[in-house]
Amino acid sequence: MEIKSEMAGTVLLVNVGPGDAITAGDELLVMESMKMEMPVLATASGSIASVYVADGDVVEAGQVILSID
């Protein structure tokens, strides 16, 4: 399952890495958009397959930022 950015913004903090086990509701990363910090939460349980962004990256709305197995 791919997790896509819901907004354009800057990645402030990536909280997970490949292989990490997660449960629905876990905070995966924090983004900043329009001077507001917004967490990106897991929508399902599983493990992190890939992380496509790093702290400080600028992303567009709809960009794939993580994938979950």
Task: Identify the architecture of domain 2-68 in CATH.
Answer: Beta Barrel (2.40)
Name residue 50's beta-bridge partners.
Answer: 67
Nearest to 16 by CA among 26, 8, 7, 25: 26
Structural element, H or E, at residue 3:
strand 2-4
Give the amino acid at 25: G
- pLDDT tens-digit series, residues 21-54: 999 999 999 999 999 999 999 999 999 999 999 9
CB 28 within 8 A of CB 22: yes
Nearest to 7 by CA among 28, 27, 37: 37
Q: What is the structure's pLDDT at 27?
A: 97
- pLDDT tens-digit series, residues 52-65: 999 999 999 999 99
